[in-house]
Amino acid sequence: MSQAHLGYESRVNLGSYYTPPEIVNIAWEMIEPYVRSQTTVIDSACGYGDFLKNCGQAITIGCDIDETAISVAKKNSDDVRLFQTNALCDVSRAKFGIPQQSYLIVVGNPPYNDKTSLIRHSIKDINFDIDEDIASRDLGISFLRSYSKLEADLICVLHPLSYLIKPTNFRHLKEFTANYRLIDGLLISSSKFPESAKHTSFPIVLALYQRDTQGMAYNFIHSFRFRIADKENKKHAAPIKPQRDAMSIEDFCLSDFDYITGYVDKYPKKKRPTSVEGNSHHSEKDNPLFFWTMRDINALKRNRTFVENYSANTIVIDKRKLDYYAYIDVFKRNLHRLPFYFGNCDVLIDDNLFKQYKSAFITDTVRHHPFLKKHFQIKPIEEQQAASGLDTYFKLLFGEHHI
């Protein structure tokens, strides 16, 4: 492990998970066509400086807040200008001596670290200043906004795919998305980073952005075709087409699918519904059903579906939508069919196809939650027949992505 000079706590606080060399090389290939002799390439969270090793004739600048990392970077390279400083404070080209007219490329793998997330909360301690105009609860988002403040012309960095595909995160990127447009995006599994391999893997994008006064709106991301780097998960998939075309499995596009969000309530209502207290719709009053809050597919992996008791995290099921909750319950048991890059998406659905295979879904849900039986009109079918129905459904739904 390359960031071995840091203890566990500092690694978490600094987001120091160094990039495997094969990924550094891909980033270099992506920026190479844009590098000229007067180009400046900066990695403002450079660690040991690996992203700056291969920059040919460009002027290279490295920066890291971590003193030891910078001293290792100094030994690794003679011609990189190195700064041991906080990249998020007093952000400007002048800070690094970059002329205003230089073509500036940012490369690297900035830290991401959600300051408000509960995971490892107790040891998180961010103790450096961040310029107000780029502040965010996630360090990675601040880094992206710092590149916009540097007026970088081209940006090639790794970051969680969730920054782009989750609408709330996308909104936090503000000035960044107003000034940049994604021109290439390669999806990589977090499991490629040795230290994150023990957690549920999530999608990371190696993203290439170009400065563009048009910027990009969320819809642009929704229909963007991302390339897929890690096909390991797809070993057992249908034969891979030899030629890459728009529909090849090397692409992933959000708008190729429909999502469950339009069919159910994803989050609890702000107020505890009166039906639970006992003065509304008859069947819900007598026999309310509860479902755990949904976030994304990775959260569904960890969480339950139908639950017995009401809490702040439960949805009171609107029984008219019960079939769709059953759908999610079955979907959860079939998550192994999906590759890593769906991790931050909502549950996928093909409503017409679902209607065709509904009895298979209901049978499966009732088998796992017998108490639900009385709530469904559809008669359960043979277990074997249900299993094969589900298999067909998921193969058709996931298509070339099916594992």
Ligand X SMILES: C[S@@+](CC[C@H](N)C(=O)[O-])C[C@H]1O[C@@H](n2cnc3c(N)ncnc32)[C@H](O)[C@@H]1O
Binding interface with ligand X (CB under 6 A): 14-19, 43-47, 50-51, 63-66, 69, 86-88, 108-109, 111, 128
Helices and strands in the chain, H and E counts:
15, 14
Cβ closer to ligand X: 50 or 250? 50
CB of 122 to ligand X, least distance (A): 19
DSSP 109: -
CB of 23 to ligand X, least distance (A): 8
Cβ closer to ligand X: 75 or 270? 75
CB of 44 to ligand X, least distance (A): 6
Cβ closer to ligand X: 64 or 329? 64
CA distances for 73 relative to 30, 58, 60, 84, 242, angstroms: 23, 17, 12, 10, 41
Query: Which candidate, 277, 253, 280, places its Cα nearest to that of 348?
Result: 253
CB of 299 to ligand X, least distance (A): 24
Dist CA 328 CA 303 (whole Å): 12
Cβ closer to ligand X: 206 or 338? 206
- Tokens representing 158? 């790794």
Let me know: does 124 contact 10? Beta carbons within 8 Å: no
Cβ closer to ligand X: 196 or 248? 196
CB of 38 to ligand X, least distance (A): 24
Let me know: does 220 contact 44? Beta carbons within 8 Å: no
CB of 5 to ligand X, least distance (A): 10
Cβ closer to ligand X: 112 or 394? 112
Among all residues, whose Cβ is closest to ligand X? Answer: 47
In sequence order, which ranges of 45-189 are alpha helices (DSSP H)? 67-76, 139-149, 162-165, 167-172, 175-179
Let me know: does 73 contact 83? Beta carbons within 8 Å: no
| Residue entry with tokens 């659905």 | 349
CB of 158 to ligand X, least distance (A): 8
Q: In what order do the strands lie in the sheet with 306-307?
A: 306-307, 290-292, 314-316
- Tokens representing 170? 């996308």
